[in-house]
Amino acid sequence: MDLPYSKAKDGIIIEVKVDPRSSRNEIVGAVDRTIRVKLTAPPVDGAANEMLVELLAKKFNIRKSDVIIMKGETSRHKLIKLRGLQID
């Protein structure tokens, strides 16, 4: 999968659309410049955000603290910074 991203000073920034309450946790693919992610967690009390952070940290082999939700805490559309990750 080609990852649509923008470069930041200390990592990369990606746009994500989350589908909560799915049957499994997975990165489905990219449409336009947005990455679609399915999560089993419901969008209640930050459970989906927490699961998203865990999934992205594991996928890109970075710490959970380096996955930062910059925008969209309560939305399905999120802007996320992956700190320390450089893609050339």
Helix (H, G, I), strand (E, B) or coil at 63: coil
pLDDT tens track for 11-69: 999 999 999 999 999 999 999 999 999 999 999 999 999 999 999 999 999 999 999 99
Going from the N-terminus, what domains does the chain have, and what CATH number goes with each? Answer: 6-83 (3.30.1200.10)
Q: pTM of the predicted model, to two decimals?
A: 0.93
pLDDT > 70? residue 1: no
Confidence band, pLDDT 50/70/90 cuts, at residue 2 = confident
pLDDT tens track for 26-39: 999 999 999 999 99
User: Where are any strands of DSSP class E within the chain?
Assistant: 6-8, 11-19, 26-31, 34-38, 67-71, 77-83
